Every structure is written in structure tokens, then in C-alpha cells.
């Protein structure tokens, strides 16, 4: 009987995921089981990524895909990656201030970005660690990469949450819903009802303002709602799906327009900041930033969010010296 081995299949992109926690390992699973990329899972805990990778390799016996996944604590194993995803960090623990968390994750993200890019200088960088927009900025600085090759995942997740609540509220298929959320990944994010549609129809034509305000509030609290239900840990299925869609658009040059934390150099009157706006993602990374026509209150809300992101960047830079 003729069998096709992985070696005979078309070459896949190579994605290294730094941080094999819930988000990193679920992203690894999505990438290999969708047959999208070969994956390296790297974590500071050496056994965890190795065990997870072996478990996922054994699942191939059932899932029948051609991709490989390895686990490691050695950056040498990530060499020549096409894309590095940073999902390393720690979650806030009782007694820890926001600044304590900011400092710890800032140090981790800057360090791992440098180490990973040293092994794969031609790679693109996708940041997932929170606080997202701040970590993306710090990873970019530490990596020394051109800003177009660095981006953060949050807008896809926030839009997925908004879209889910829209579909649930209207009792329509999620297939026809496209939501848009701008701004930082936090309380000041800017869901845009005028640019959120069901089969091309803006939701402002389908729902009253009170209902839209309720869905926006639930979207803003999307992460916190899950944390309070789970008690320990935070969301990872939807974050992993969101990162996976960005990886796919990049590796396969699909040029999807997705909301992402990207570097702005004057767009939306903002400079030297990573923040969520719609962008075209392809093989080069961020090939285009799309500037939406904003109403005054939308523009003000985006700028308020940017001010808060900028303050956190400055705090993080002071804390890590």
C-alpha cells in the first residue's frame, strides 16, 4: 500500500510558540490539527512542553494530519522559524498589584523576544501576552525588528466576542456576523457598532442603542467574565483560535483584514504606539493599516484608549529600567 509520509507533503511553515501554557499549547494544537504549520512549543518548564508535544504527536494517530510538533526549553530548537508567537507570562496572583504583574511580564516578554529572534532573525513576531498592547511594544523594542514584522493579538478576540454576543442576541448564524473593535485590549477598547454587520447590515439598523450598549459592555468585560466563572485561570480557547487565524493569514499570505495591535506612525493621528486597528496581514506581516472614518466620539474613545496604553508603556519602561 502506498503511504504518504510527512516528509513528502508540501513544506509547512514553522511556528515557535514561546510559553506552553493554556493559550500556547491550545494554539499549538490548533495549528497542527488544522494542518497549518509545524510547531515548536518552548517553555521555561522543560518537561511540560515535551509532554504536551508528545501527547499531540500521539493524537496524530487519530487526527491524521501531516504536521509535527516538538517541545523544548532550548531556543536552539526554534531556529529558522517563520513566525514566533509569545504567550509566555504569569497570571496575576492574589496580593500582586497591576504594576507587579506589568513588571514581571515586561521582563519575560522582552527577554524571550530577544532570545527567539536571535535564532530566527527573519521571523515575524506575534505577541499574545497581556497587557497586550504594552507587551507588543516592548517585544518590538527588544527584538529590533522593523515594526511591520511585529503585531499583537487582541482585536480578533475582542471582535469574536462582540460578534458572538451579536449572533446570540439576534439569534442568527455567527457565519454572517462581522464585528469590528478598535483600541487597546482593556476596559477602554472601542467596539464599533457602525462597522459591525450581519450580512453587510450594520447592527445599528438591527438593534436599539440600549441593547448595543449592553453587548459592548459584555465585550469589554469578556475576559473578566470568564475569569470569574473559572475561578482559577483565564480564557484560552478563543484567544488561541484568534491567534491561529492571524498565523494562518500571515503564513499563507491570505491578506486578511483583521483588527490587530500594530504600529502606528501617524494613522488615526497616533504615533509610536501599538494599538488595535484593522490591518492587512500577509507574508511580510502588516502590509497595510486601514484608516476608518471615525465619528468624533469614536475618535475620542480611541485616543483615550491610546493614552492609557502609552501610560502603561511608560510605567513598564520605568519598572524594568
The one catalytic residue among 185, 220, 256, 303: 185
Binding to ligand APR (CB under 6 A): which residues in 50-89?
87-89
What is the closest distance, in whole angstroms, from the C-beta atom of residue 73 to ligand APR in the complex? 8
Among 178, 211, 221, 234, binds ligand APR (CB under 6 A): 234
Residue choice 14, 15, 17, 21 for contact with ligand APR (CB under 6 A): 21
**20 part of the interface to ligand APR, by CB under 6 A:** yes
Half-sphere exposure in the Cβ direction for 39 (13 Å, CA): 36
144 to 17, 82, 102: CA distances (angstroms): 19, 16, 21
> 154: exposed, middle or buried (C-beta count within 10 Å: 0-12, 13-18, 19+)?
buried
- Which of these, 174, 131, 168, 128, lies nearest to 151 by C-alpha position? 128
Interface with ligand APR (CB under 6 A), residue from 72, 119, 129, 245: 129
Cell of 152: 499583537
**Taking CB under 6 A as the rule, does residue 241 contact ligand APR?**
no
The cell numbers describing 13, all together, are 511553515
Q: Which of residues 44 and 168 has its CB atom nearest to ligand APR in the complex? A: 44
Tell me whether residue 33 or residue 298 sits nearer to ligand APR (CB atom). Answer: 33
Min CB(35)–ligand APR separation in Å? 23
| Site membership for ligand APR, residue 24 (CB under 6 A) | yes
List 279's β-bridge partners, or say none: 258, 289
Binding piece for ligand APR, criterion CB under 6 A, among 5-13, 15-23, 197-205, 289-297: 15-23
**Should residue 22 be labelled a site residue for ligand APR when binding is judged by CB under 6 A?**
yes
Shortest distance, position 117 Cβ to ligand APR, whole Å: 14
Residue 43 binds ligand APR (CB under 6 A) = yes
Q: Name which of residues 250 to 309 contact ligand APR (CB under 6 A).
A: none
**Residue of 315, 310, 307, 301 lying closest to 189 (CA atoms):** 301
Does 236 interact with ligand APR (rule: CB under 6 A)?
yes
- Cis upstream peptide for 131 (omega within 30°): yes
Of all residues in this chain, which one has the CB nearest to ligand APR in the complex? Answer: 21
Under 8 Å between Cβ of 313 and 205 = no
Distance CA 72, CA 74 (A): 5
Least distance in Å: CB of 20 to ligand APR? 5
Cβ proximity to ligand APR, 186 vs 191, nearer residue? 186
Q: Does 19 bind ligand APR (CB under 6 A)?
A: yes
CB of 37 to ligand APR, least distance (A): 19
Q: How far is the CB of 43 from ligand APR (least distance, A)?
A: 5
Q: What does the block give as the cell for 244?
A: 491561529
**Is residue 128 part of the contact set for ligand APR (CB under 6 A)?**
yes
Q: With binding defined as CB under 6 A, does residue 186 bind ligand APR? A: no
SS3 40: strand
**Residue 233, phi-psi category: left (phi > 0), alpha (psi -120 to 50), beta (remainder):** left
Check if the beta carbon of residue 190 is closer than 8 Å to that of residue 292. no
Q: Which three cell numbers stand for residue 34?
A: 488544522
Quick check: is 303 catalytic? no
- Residue 293, SS3? coil
Residues in the chain: 321
Query: Which residue's CB is nearer to ligand APR, number 24 or number 259?
Result: 24
Instruction: Quickly count: other Cβ atoms within 10 Å of residue 190's Cβ.
Output: 26
**Residues at the interface with ligand APR (CB under 6 A):** 18-24, 43-45, 87-91, 108, 112, 128-130, 234, 236, 239
Q: What is the set of active-site residues?
A: 185
Amino acid at each position: 500500500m502506498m503511504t504518504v509520509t510527512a516528509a513528502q507533503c508540501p513544506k509547512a511553515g514553522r511556528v515557535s510558540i514561546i510559553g506552553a501554557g493554556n493559550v500556547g499549547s491550545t494554539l499549538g494544537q490548533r495549528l497542527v490539527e488544522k494542518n497549518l504549520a509545524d510547531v515548536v512549543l518552548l517553555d521555561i518548564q522543560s518537561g511540560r512542553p515535551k509532554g504536551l508535544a508528545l501527547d499531540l504527536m500521539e493524537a496524530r494517530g487519530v487526527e491524521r494530519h501531516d504536521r509535527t510538533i516538538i517541545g523544548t526549553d532550548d531556543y536552539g530548537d526554534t531556529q529558522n522559524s517563520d513566525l514566533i508567537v509569545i504567550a509566555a507570562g504569569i497570571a496575576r496572583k492574589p496580593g500582586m498589584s497591576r504594576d507587579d504583574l506589568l513588571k514581571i511580564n515586561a521582563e519575560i516578554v522582552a527577554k524571550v523576544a530577544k532570545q527567539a529572534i536571535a535564532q530566527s532573525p527573519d521571523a515575524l513576531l506575534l505577541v499574545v501576552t497581556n497587557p497586550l498592547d504594552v507587551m507588543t511594544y516592548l517585544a518590538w523594542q527588544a527584538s529590533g525588528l522593523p515594526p511591520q514584522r511585529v503585531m499583537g493579538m487582541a482585536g480578533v478576540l475582542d471582535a469574536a466576542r462582540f460578534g458572538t454576543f451579536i449572533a446570540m442576541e439576534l439569534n442568527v448564524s455567527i457565519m454572517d456576523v462581522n464585528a469590528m473593535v478598535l483600541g487597546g485590549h482593556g476596559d477602554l477598547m472601542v467596539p464599533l457598532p457602525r462597522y459591525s454587520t450581519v450580512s453587510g447590515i450594520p447592527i445599528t439598523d438591527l438593534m436599539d442603542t440600549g441593547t448595543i450598549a449592553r453587548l459592548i459592555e459584555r465585550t469589554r468585560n469578556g475576559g473578566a467574565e470568564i475569569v470569574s466563572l473559572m475561578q482559577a485561570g483565564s480564557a484560552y480557547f478563543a484567544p488561541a483560535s484568534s491567534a491561529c487565524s492571524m498565523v494562518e493569514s500571515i503564513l499563507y499570505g491570505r491578506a486578511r483584514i483583521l483588527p490587530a495591535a500594530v504600529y502606528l506612525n501617524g494613522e488615526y493621528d497616533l504615533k509610536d504606539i501599538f494599538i488595535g486597528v484593522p490591518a492587512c496581514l500577509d507574508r511580510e506581516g502588516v502590509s497595510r493599516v486601514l484608516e476608518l472614518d471615525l465619528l468624533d466620539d469614536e475618535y475620542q474613545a480611541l485616543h483615550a484608549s491610546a493614552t492609557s496604553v502609552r501610560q502603561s508603556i511608560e510605567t513598564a519602561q520605568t519598572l524594568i529600567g
